[in-house]
Amino acid sequence: MSYLKKIGALFVSSALMATMLAGCGGSSSGSGDTGSQAEGGGDGAYNISIVFKTTSNEYTQYMMAGAEKAAEETGAVLDMKGATSETAYDEQQNMIETDLHANKYDAMIIAPLQGDMASTLVSGTDMPIFAIDTDFDAPEKISFIGIGQHDAAASGGEKAVEAAKAAGWDKIEAAYIAGVQGDSTADARRTGFQEGIDGAGGMFLADEVQYADAVADKATVCMEGIMQSHPEGLAIIACHNDDCAIAAARAAANNPAYAKTIFIGFDGNITAAQSILDGGETMTVAQSGYDQGYQAVKTVVAHLNGEQVDSFVDCGTKIIDIDSAEDYMATLKSQMDGKAVAAQ
C-alpha cells in the first residue's frame, strides 16, 4: 500500500477500506487487520524503503538484521538497498530519488552519505521520512534513530587515554585515521575523539589527520604514513571505524615502536571483537547496528499507526575491550542468528 493510497483510504468507509487494503498485495505476514492501519489501530503490512550508505560493510548487515527482525514482528515489508561504497554518492542519490517517486512505499528510512543531499531530495515530499545512523536536517523528517556520534567518540577518547597511561606511555599523542572528508558522521567522530583525548590529558594531532574514506585498504596506507612520520611510536591511533582500526593495527603489528599503542575503533563489529581478543585492535566504541535497524522499523510502523514517536531515538553506545569482547561477540552472533557477515 503506497503512502498516497493510504491517505486516500481515510475517506472511505471502514468496511470498504478493509477490502481495498486486502487487495493491495501487502505482506501476508501482517496481523491480518490491515483495515486498522489507516486508523492507527495496529501493526500491518506497510511497505518501507530503507536506503543505507552501503551494503558492503559489516555494520550495515547488523542494521539489516535488526530491521528484518522488526519486520517479522510487525508484518512490514522492507526494500533494503545501499550504494557500493561510502563515496558512491550518485548511486545513493539515484536510489533515494527512485524510491521517493515509486508510489509504492509508505515511508522511507535513509542513512545519508551526504546530509545536504538527503535534505534536498526529500524536500516537499508527503512521504514520512526517517534518518538512521546519520542524521540530517529536513522538516519532512519524523525521527532520527541512532546515537550521539560526538559524545560517544569523546567517551572513547577518554578511555583510550586511560588505557595508554596504563600501558606505560608518558607522552600521550594520538593520530587519527578519519572517514570520508565532509561527512557529518566522520566530522562528529573526529571532533569527539579530539575532545575526549585532549580533555583526558592527551594530545590529539589535529594537523596530521589522515582520511581513509572509511575503508581498510586506505587505512593501511594511512598507518604506513603515520609510522614513517613517527618512527618513535605513538600512544594512540584512533580510527573512524573498526575496519580502519583493524587495518591500522595489522599494518603496525611488526613495528616494535607500536607494540603498546592503543588502537581504538568505532562501531563494535564481530570482527572488531575478535581482533581485540587476538591482540590487534585494542578497544572499540560499540553502537548497536542491530538495535538501530530494529528501532527504526518499529518507529516507522508506530508513526504510520498514528502513534506519537520521539524525534530522536537514542540507541546508546558502550566501550568494548579485552575484558568484555568475548561476551559482546556472543551477543552479536546471537543477533545475527547464523547470518554470515562481510569479511574484512
The pLDDT tens digits of the residues spanning 217-256 come to: 999 999 999 999 999 999 999 999 999 999 999 999 999 9
| Same domain? 70 vs 139 | yes
324 belongs to a structural domain: no
Q: What is the pTM of this model?
A: 0.80
If asked whether residues 282 and 155 sit together in one domain, one would say yes
Residue 22 placed within a domain: yes
Confidence of residue 320 (pLDDT cuts 50, 70, 90): very high
Residue 336: per-residue pLDDT: 84
Same domain, 39 and 138: yes
Whether 333 is in a domain gets the answer no
Q: Where are the alpha helices (DSSP H) in 75-182?
A: 89-100, 115-122, 149-166
In terms of domains, do 310 and 198 share one?
no
Q: Tell me which long-range contacts 218-222 makes (C-beta under 8 A, separation of at least 24).
A: 219/177, 219/243, 219/244, 219/245, 219/247, 219/248, 219/251, 220/247, 220/248, 220/250, 220/251, 222/177, 222/248
Residue 135 and residue 224 in one domain = no
DSSP state of 46: -
Residue 336 within a domain: no
Instruction: Write the pLDDT tens digit of every residue in 166-190.
Output: 999 999 999 999 999 988 899 999 9
Question: Would the pLDDT of 268 be above 60?
Answer: yes
Is 181 in the same domain as 129?
no
**Does pLDDT of 7 surpass 50?**
no
128-151 average pLDDT score: 97
Is the pLDDT confidence value at 120 over 50? Answer: yes
Domain shared by 8 and 139, yes or no:
yes
Could you tell me if residue 209 is inside a domain? yes
Clarify whether residues 109 and 167 are in a common domain: no
Quick check: is 140 in a domain?
yes
Domain of 188? 149-287
Tell me the pairing of strands 283-287 and 317-320. Answer: antiparallel
Residue 320 lies in a domain: no
CATH of the domain at 278: 3.40.50.2300
Q: Are residues 86 and 164 in the same domain?
A: no
Which of the residue ranges 20-29, 198-207, 254-263 would you say has the lowest mean pLDDT? 20-29
Contacts for 23-31: CB closer than 8 Å, 24+ residues apart: 26/1, 26/75, 26/77, 27/71, 27/75, 27/76, 27/77, 29/71, 29/72, 29/75, 30/74, 30/75, 30/76, 31/75
Same domain? 160 vs 262: yes
Quote the pLDDT of residue 44: 52
pLDDT of 284 > 50? The answer is: yes
Does a structural domain hold residue 327? no
Provide the domain count of the chain.
2
User: Taking 70 as the threshold, does the pLDDT of residue 26 lie above it?
Assistant: no
The reply to whether 136 and 269 lie within a common domain is no
The verdict on 63 and 127 lying in the same domain is yes
pLDDT at 344 over 50: no
